[in-house]
Every structure is written in C-alpha cells, then in structure tokens.
Amino acid sequence: MRRRIGYVLAVVALVLGGAVVTGVMTPSIAAADECYTWNRVLQRGMSGSDVRELQIRVAGWVASGENLAIDGEYGPATEAAVKRFQSGYGLTPDGVAGTQTFNKIYELQDADCTPIHFDHSEFNYNCGARNYEGGKVPAATARENMRRVMWQLEALRHKLGDRPLVVTSGFRSVSCNASVGGSSTSLHMYGQAADLGLSSGPSQCQMWNGGKSAGFEELLGPGYPGHNDHVHVGNKASRFWSAPNC
C-alpha cells in the first residue's frame, strides 16, 4: 500500500510540475504491475501463459493436501484456487479472474514478480554465495521454483493473520546443503523448499498445519528429527507430512 501511495504521489508531483518525464521514478515507487499485466479476463476453459502466471499467484490457495499444477490450463482446480484467493481477500468469489482479482494481485506483487512480503534475498543466501548456482537444477529454474514457493508463503502468511514468516533457509547448492547437514535428496537444492524459523509470528505448529492448505506436499516440523527449531515446507510430487509434536 505504501508503495502505491508513493507512486500516486510521484505522478501528482510530475503533473503539478507541468511536465511528464519518463524514467525518473525509482524502482521502489514503480507501478505495482511493472512485473506483469494481464490483458484479458481469465476463466475456466481458457489456457495460456497468462493462466500460468495466475496459477503461480494462487498456488497457495488450494484445498488441504492439494498441489496446484502450474500448467497454463484454467481447469476446476485453478477455478477453486481463484475462488479461495478471492474469498481470502474479501473479493466476490466467482472463480473468474478479472479486474478485481488482477488489481489485488498487482497490490501484492513487486516489480520483480515476487510477492510483497518476500524477496529473493531471503532465499538465495546459499551459504553466503547469494545466488541460485550449484544446485540440482539450472539457476534460472531454481529461481523460478523459489518464486512459486514465495507466493505460497504469501498466501500462508495472509491466512495466518498477516504475521511475519521468517525464512531461515531457502535455496542451497549441493555443497552448501552438505555443509549444513541437509538430506542428500533435499528439495532445497532445487529451490523447492524453505525453512521458517522460530522468530516467525505464528507458532511452529500453526505454520506446519497451515502449510497443508498452502500447497506444500513436504512439511516437516517439531518432533521430526532436526526440525525442532524450524518448519520445513516444500513442493514435491508425493506427500510427506510429519510433525509428531503438533
């Protein structure tokens, strides 16, 4: 919201100044839709890259145990996720992605297409390398996988009362993963997982339980070996949820 107000003030200032000059706005006050703009209303039965971009934004609004396919096809699962997103933000839950839905998404996204409460810098520490290099997939793939995780976390954050989720680990290269004692099959090496620390607003069990309906098929929490000081959330094809103390 602060960002949008800043943008409006910048425009007003330019207009009052009597001249519209392009290229003077800094990235911090850029239009919220600088990242991506949808040019048509989307609904069930449609397909395309614009559907895919929508699916990434609503991937955290699934039913418990569901993992939304990011396939560019606006099917029943996408429609249901859009309805939950709309309900979650107080919009009319009609399952059709039009102006209201896109405007809400524009409010929620930064210029680099990450959600407003999360940033790549929180996920690419990578043992100090500050990049997505050296994992099990190309860096661009890891970065894109991480963006999807961020949108799921944005949904989780909102559903848990808009309290901060503190990321203690995101992407890890193969060597970084080994050095911190990660599993040899860790999703962190694919950019498909994140760890949420104890300084987060919600409790460990709130985050672990909430992750079930945020599209995470891998959820590890208190009582699972090595997970008493964080909750691990990840995207994978088969489900593995464990937190004996929740």
Candidate list 122, 195, 217, 218; residue touching Zn ion; CB under 5 A: 195
Min separation Cβ 61 and Zn ion, Å: 23
Min separation Cβ 178 and Zn ion, Å: 14
The rounded radius of gyration (Å) of the Cα atoms in the chain is 19
Q: Which residue sits closest to Zn ion, CB atoms considered? A: 232
Contacts with 220 (C-beta within 8 Å, 6 or more apart), sequence order: 208, 227, 231, 232, 240, 241, 242, 243
Q: Which CB, 197 or 201, lies closer to Zn ion?
A: 197
Of residues 200-239, those binding Zn ion (CB under 5 A):
232
Q: Which CB, 109 or 177, lies closer to Zn ion?
A: 177
227 is catalytic: yes
Min separation Cβ 185 and Zn ion, Å: 12
Contacts with 51 (C-beta within 8 Å, 6 or more apart), sequence order: 42, 72, 73, 74, 78
Strands 218-220 and 240-242 come out as parallel
What tokens were used for 167?
Answer: 């990321």
Q: Are 59 and 148 in contact (CB under 8 A)?
A: yes
Q: Which CB, 55 or 126, lies closer to Zn ion?
A: 126
Active-site residue (options: 120, 227, 230, 232): 227
Q: Report the catalytic residues.
A: 227
Contacts to Zn ion by CB under 5 A: 195, 232
